[in-house]
């Protein structure tokens, strides 16, 4: 065997009862029997149906707009245009984050008034008695455009004289890193390797298109039932609609997937406006085609690496340039670019580093959050560059990484000291070992293996001063309630909180009930984004439950006349721990002598007025914003590390790539629910494999050419192998029980691993994703030509 797993440093993890077990998720059965009600499943008496009229032009002046025929159509209750909404704007950076200093800038108009900047931009809203009437009304809206010069290529948009998408220029954001002495670093290099990599627009393709229903209640509160990753958008919605914050109530639902695409506002403002104007319940549900047209995309990036290396592979200097395509409005582009910049050189020690990154406005669909959030695009580039360095030096790809890997205690590109475990060699050697010997080539079928290491932050940027709140209470029968505003995207967010609460309070998972994702009735937990909920809300639940536990144990200690530290809680009981030397594993063999059901203890506390609930506010570390001219300092609470390896078979006659094997290994700190972690790893992998091989929102002159799931392809069950998930637990994360985040990290290394495997198979690098058969054939031809001339 060529690769052997590096032994793990010794880790001592405490034995737990509920946490760490692959239990059936609390939300699972409702979903499998079809009982879970999603945002599009609600209807109300007297409800209207809404549609959105959108721009067909990527860049134009609206010369003339006439909605009178639509308004007159029988059954139409309301048509709204920008004229009806003075200065309604969509705040496109993340709202409601206390203490946020920096704003992303230009907000998008809710409805375009005189200028459209992308094909699909909303112009008018219709609400009607029936959906078919609303659709007919759209056809009656008359509009005349005066086309304006558009700019679609970010490099063109940077040139002087390029059409300006919005004032003052097309630069949405810039970040830089200036670290060490790059000149000197290149001077001592034995070789300099330079490559440019490109990644495309990608769509989230959550199976559930955006949907919601809204109504005004007797308090004059606008209620919105909607699938969103961010119930805190109620503040932005209030601002856009022109009502106080406390008059918008978001009742979030279980999401049919999000992946970042439901992080920005989707249907909420439209619903709020229409229900406010009509005083009737309104439903708005996007078709798949409208969803693809209306929501954000993953940023295309152009990333150039120039790396100086010694003969042994050690990096002496790196210059990295990144250009991201922000599309027509900024949304989260500045932050996506920040993530990419911080991750630009990967999990490697680079003392002499220049990074220049810029996000550029174009008349394309707007781009924003997508699982990986810039760090995924960065990894596609830095991991291919590492393999190219290995090739240039004729070294093993693992060896080149090994001499550069960060180690526990290292500082990253922004100079942040990472205090949790950095298990890079540990994860890389495990995926390579598991991948095993390469399958032999077979005629025109060339087999290749490749891998990628990565680092990815979890938790939000620390100068956003992130917080989460959770309420935990014990009922008088010993059952437990959690109230926490966390939206559940399907990744098991609410289940993890229940396992944590159950662990702390010594009850079973079936004893837990959680109320979540409500902006008014559950404590605000912040966004389900940035791989932050397990870390943030997990800690909030852990702390709240621990405080309740303290009250319970304190009262029980008086009852038993034993010290609280000699008591424990499990199986719905509080009991006196068996004295040593009897090992704790003997519990369960016989009932402990002194125990009390939790219900009796709770009743005892209630009778004495002791608090059986706690509301806890968890704060992430707060740091100062960094200098955009040289990002040096702390940016994130912590990072997850891991690796992914794949084996591919490339048919050099057809260009078709088949994935043969896929293995991922991540240090998740502590797996709260190992089955859910495995699900994240396998699902994230599949999205990354799709990113590598087939996914691209094709945009021509600003118009999407892949408008439905017939053209925009995601992996089916026939396209991807089951990724073998190797879960490591260093116990060093900043989440509850030492957990790290895994939601986004699961995706990040998959695509570069595939790219490296394909390059390994055909002996030549394809610099652009996705690796389509056309690109493979062109590359094979190129390689053949090189050989002939060489």
Partner 1 sequence: MQPRVVTLNVNGRQHRVALAPNVTLLQALRDLGYTDVKSGCEKGDCGACAVLLDGKAINSCLVLAWQAEGAEIVTDAGLGTMDNPHPIQEAFADAGAAQCGYCTPGMIISAKVLLDRNLHPTEDEIREAISGNLCRCTGYGQIIKAIQMAAERMQDAGSRMQEAGSKETGGER
Binding interface with partner 1 (CB under 8 A): 22, 24-25, 27-38, 40-41, 204-209, 254-259, 285, 287-288, 489-492, 675-676, 678-679, 682-687, 708-710, 714-718, 720, 722-723
Please, which residue, 59 or 495, has the CB nearer to partner 1? 495
Three-state DSSP at 685 gives helix
Q: Given 3-state DSSP classes, what are the helix, strand and coil percentages for the chain, each rounded to the nearest 5?
A: 30, 25, 45
Closer Cβ to partner 1, 51 or 239, answer by number = 51
Q: Which is nearer to partner 1, 257 or 436 (CB)?
A: 257
Closer CB to partner 1, 553 or 720, in the complex: 720
β-bridge pairing 122-128 and 76-81: antiparallel
Output 150 or 690, the one with its CB closest to partner 1. Answer: 690
Q: How deeply is 745 buried, as exposed, middle or buried, from its count of CB atoms within 10 A (0-12, 13-18, 19+)? A: buried
Q: Which is nearer to partner 1, 532 or 724 (CB)?
A: 724
Closest to partner 1 by CB, 210 vs 568, is: 210
Output the smallest distance, CB 291 to partner 1, in A.
Answer: 9
Question: How many angstroms separate the Cα of 487 from the Cα of each of 214, 233, 364, 512, 531?
Answer: 18, 12, 29, 17, 12
Number of residues in the chain: 790
Shortest distance, position 341 Cβ to partner 1, whole Å: 28
What is each CA distance from 537 to 27, 53, 418, 694, in whole angstroms? 17, 39, 22, 35
Grouping H, G, I as helix, E, B as strand and the rest as coil, residue 682 is: helix
Query: Please, which residue, 365 or 743, has the CB nearer to partner 1?
Result: 743
Smallest distance, partner 1 to C-beta of residue 597, A: 26
Which helix (H) or strand (E) segment holds residue 776: the answer is: helix 773-789
Q: Are the C-beta atoms of 612 and 474 separated by less than 8 Å?
A: yes
Q: Give least dist CB 31 to partner 1, A.
A: 3
Dist CA 511 CA 522 (whole Å): 19
Which of 124, 93, 144, 190 is CA-nearest to residue 460? Answer: 93
Q: Closest approach of Cβ 669 to partner 1, in Å?
A: 20
The DSSP call for residue 59 is: S
The verdict on whether omega for the bond into residue 190 sits within 30 degrees of 0, i.e. cis, is: no
Give least dist CB 458 to partner 1, A. 19
Going by their DSSP bridges, the two strands 657-667 and 222-226 should be labelled as unpaired
Closer residue to partner 1 (CB): 197 or 259: 259
Give min distance, CB of 734 to partner 1, in A. 25
Q: Cβ 128 to partner 1, closest distance in Å?
A: 16
Are the C-beta atoms of 668 and 740 separated by less than 8 Å? yes
The nearer residue to partner 1, 14 or 22, going by C-beta atoms, is: 22
Phi-psi region of 313 (alpha: psi -120 to 50; beta: other; left: phi over 0): left
- Closest approach, Cβ 454 to partner 1, in A, equals 18
CA distance 612 to 479: 11
Structure-derived torsion over alpha carbons of residues 547, 550, 551, 557, reported in degrees to the nearest 10: 180
Token readout for 768 is: 């652009």
For the bound state, the minimum distance from the C-beta of residue 206 to partner 1, rounded and expressed in Å, comes to 6
Residue closer to partner 1, measured from CB, 226 or 762: 226
Which tokens is 581 given?
A: 């030397």
Instruction: From residue 391, give the alpha-carbon distance in Å to each of 95, 213, 298, 388.
Output: 46, 56, 30, 5
Residue 569 and residue 596 in contact, taking contact as beta carbons nearer than 8 Å: no
CB of 210 to partner 1, least distance (A): 12
| Cβ-based nearer residue to partner 1, 32 or 585 | 32
- Minimum CB separation of residue 353 from partner 1 in Å reads 35
């Amino acid at each position: 065997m060529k690769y052997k797993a590096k032994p793990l440093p010794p880790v001592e993890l405490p034995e737990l009862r509920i946490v760490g077990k692959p239990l059936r998720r609390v939300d699972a059965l409702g979903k499998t029997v079809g009982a879970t009600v999603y945002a599009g499943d609600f209807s109300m008496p007297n409800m209207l149906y809404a549609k959105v009229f959108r721009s067909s032009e990527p860049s134009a002046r609206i010369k003339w707009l006439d909605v009178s025929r639509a308004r007159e159509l029988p059954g139409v209750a309301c048509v709204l245009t920008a004229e009806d909404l003075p200065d309604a704007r969509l705040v496109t950076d993340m709202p409601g984050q206390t203490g946020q200093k920096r704003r992303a800038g230009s907000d998008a108009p809710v409805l375009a008034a005189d200028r459209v900047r992308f094909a699909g931009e909303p112009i008018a809203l219709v609400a009607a008695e029936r959906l078919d009437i609303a659709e007919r009304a759209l056809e009656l809206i008359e509009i005349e455009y005066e086309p304006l010069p558009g700019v679609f290529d970010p490099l063109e948009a940077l040139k002087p004289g390029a059409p300006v998408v919005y004032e003052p220029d097309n630069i949405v954001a810039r970040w830089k890193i200036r670290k060490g002495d790059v000149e000197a670093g290149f001077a001592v290099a034995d070789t300099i390797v330079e490559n440019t990599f490109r990644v495309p627009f990608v769509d989230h393709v959550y199976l559930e298109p955006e949907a919601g229903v809204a109504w005004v209640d007797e308090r004059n509160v606008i209620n919105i039932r909607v699938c969103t990753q961010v119930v805190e958008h109620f503040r932005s919605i209030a601002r856009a609609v022109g009502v106080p914050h406390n008059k918008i109530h978001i009742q979030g639902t279980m999401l049919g997937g999000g992946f970042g695409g439901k992080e920005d506002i989707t249907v909420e403002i439209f619903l709020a406006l229409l229900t406010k104007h009509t005083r009737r319940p309104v439903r708005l549900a996007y078709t798949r085609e409208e969803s693809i047209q209306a929501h954000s995309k993953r940023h295309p990036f152009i990333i150039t690496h120039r790396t100086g290396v010694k003969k042994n592979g050690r990096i002496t200097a790196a210059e990295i340039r990144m250009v991201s395509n922000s599309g027509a409005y900024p949304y989260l582009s500045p932050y996506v670019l920040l993530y990419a910049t911080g991750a630009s050189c990967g999990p490697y020690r680079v003392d002499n580093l220049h990074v220049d990154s810029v996000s550029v406005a174009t008349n394309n669909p707007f781009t924003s959050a997508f699982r990986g959030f810039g760090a995924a695009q960065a990894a596609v580039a830095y991991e291919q560059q590492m393999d190219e360095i290995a090739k240039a030096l004729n070294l093993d790809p693992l060896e080149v990484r090994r001499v550069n890997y960060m180690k526990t205690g290292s500082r990253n590109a922004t100079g942040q000291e990472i205090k949790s475990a950095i298990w890079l060699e540990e994860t890389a050697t495990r995926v390579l070992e598991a991948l095993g010997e390469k399958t032999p080539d077979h005629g025109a079928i060339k087999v290749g293996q490749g891998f990628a290491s990565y680092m990815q932050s979890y938790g939000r940027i620390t100068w956003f001063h992130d917080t989460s709140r959770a309420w935990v209470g014990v009922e008088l029968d010993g059952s437990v309630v959690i109230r926490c505003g966390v939206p559940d995207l399907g990744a098991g967010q609410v289940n993890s909180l229940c396992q944590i609460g159950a662990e702390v309070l010594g009850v079973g998972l079936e004893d837990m009930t959680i109320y979540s994702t409500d902006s008014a009735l559950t404590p605000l937990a912040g966004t389900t984004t940035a791989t932050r909920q397990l870390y943030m809300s997990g800690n909030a639940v852990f702390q709240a439950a621990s405080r309740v536990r303290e009250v319970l144990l304190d009262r029980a200690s008086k009852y038993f006349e034993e010290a609280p530290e000699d008591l424990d809680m499990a199986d719905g009981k509080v009991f006196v721990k068996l004295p040593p030397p009897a090992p704790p594993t003997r519990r369960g063999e016989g009932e402990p002598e002194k125990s009390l059901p939790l219900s009796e203890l709770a009743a005892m506390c209630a009778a004495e007025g002791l608090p059986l609930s706690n509301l806890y506010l968890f704060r992430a570390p707060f740091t100062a914003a960094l200098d955009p001219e040289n990002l040096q300092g702390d940016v994130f609470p912590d990072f997850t590390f891991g690796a992914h390896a794949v084996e591919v078979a490339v048919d050099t006659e057809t260009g078709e790539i088949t994935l043969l094997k896929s293995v991922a290994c991540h240090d998740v700190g502590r797996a709260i629910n190992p089955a859910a972690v495995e699900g994240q790893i396998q699902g994230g992998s599949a999205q990354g494999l799709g990113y590598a091989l087939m996914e691209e929102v094709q945009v021509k002159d600003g118009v999407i050419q892949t408008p439905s799931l017939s053209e925009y392809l995601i992996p089916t069950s026939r396209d991807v192998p089951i990724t073998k998930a190797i879960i490591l637990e260093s116990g060093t994360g900043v989440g509850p029980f030492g957990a790290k985040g895994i939601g986004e990290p699961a995706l990040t290394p998959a695509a570069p691993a595939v790219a490296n495997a394909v390059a390994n198979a055909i002996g030549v690098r394809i610099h652009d994703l996705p690796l389509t058969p056309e690109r493979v054939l062109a590359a094979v031809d190129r390689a053949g030509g090189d050989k002939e001339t060489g």
